Amino acid sequence: MSPQSPEGRRLGIGGKVPRRLAELGVTERMFEITKRVAIGTFNDGFTYAGNLAYLSLVTLFPFFIVATALASLVGRTGTGVHALEAFLQTVPPDVAKLLRDPVIEVLNARSTGGLLWFGALVGLWTTAGFIETIRGIVRQAYGVSSDKPFWRYRLGAIGMIVAAVLMVMLAFAFQVILTGIEQFLYRILPWATEAQRFASAGKAVPAFALFGALYVLFFALTPSRYRSRGCPKWPGALCTTLWWLSVTGGLPWVLSTLGGYGATYGSLAGVMVALIFFFLVGLGLVVGAELNAALAEVPEAGLEGEQAQEIQKT
């Protein structure tokens, strides 16, 4: 447990009295937050980022199989491919080029029948492991452990995956409606410039959807003790969103500037670019979790006995 985590500060690990952010000036507060985030990220961030990079590639195919299977229940057979295209908009072009054809090939091979549902069941279990890894990142940031049964967490993770697929379907429905409105304004009402600007702003929907998904993820995986209003979740979600979009925009430029990675990795160059991208995104996720933990204040009143143990269990 890091002495800079909320639980580490509460228990006085390191022998120091925890400093409450509200009691510090602006400069000191920024320094204290930065120190907490830096220490937490340095201790565990690179290990977790490596795990997430590997798991991202492993769980990418299963997730879209799950999306296809669930969407087929309501007659939306193309949702899996649409979800893939929406996801590929948030990754660098080289990564999108690497992933698009293999994933579409897998989805087409499992578009109907028992093979689709078998793949969906395996995909649910595999993707749930990815969610549990993120849960481990968040709990490590807060210094909280848990002794709840394994199956309860797995069921919760599976529920989050199903909810994510439903949110994707709603987002696509909204996008279709927004596209129709935009075409109507440009073709039928070409003079309605203000409305056209508003409709064009809908192109930023993927960024807002990413922020919303990350916020829900952080909120759902944060230990219950630290879900109160005094422990904000949006800073970590916003930080991770900006980090993700920066990596998406900056990685192609960096790779083109450095060059030579194709000669170094040969036919595996595309895979290595994908791993580098997911590693950097995973590191941003760790930073976001550490930022939320750094902003979480230690409870004012000391807790003892069963109450203190309850924090560790939640």
Please give, one letter per residue, the 3-state secondary structure of 48-113.
Answer: HHHHHHHHHHHHHHHHHHHHHHHHHCCCCCCHHHHHHHHHHCCCCHHHHHHHHHHHHHHHHHCCCH
Over 50: is that where the pLDDT of 305 sits?
Answer: no
- Residues 279/280/282/288 CA torsion (nearest 10 deg): 160
Tokens (6 digits) for 248:
């998406």
Q: Is a pLDDT exceeding 70 seen at residue 195?
A: no
CB 217 within 8 A of CB 183: no
CA atoms within 13 A on the CB side of 105: 5
Q: What is the pLDDT of residue 304?
A: 40
Mean pLDDT for the stretch of residues 205-229: 81
Amino acid at 56: S
Report the phi/psi class of residue 19: left, alpha or beta, with left for phi > 0 and alpha for psi in -120 to 50. Answer: beta
Q: Look up the pTM and report it.
A: 0.76
Which residue has better confidence, 234 or 57? 234
Q: Tell me: the pLDDT tens digits for 54-63?
A: 888 888 777 7
Q: Please tell me the predicted confidence (pLDDT) of residue 135.
A: 86
pLDDT at 211 over 80: yes
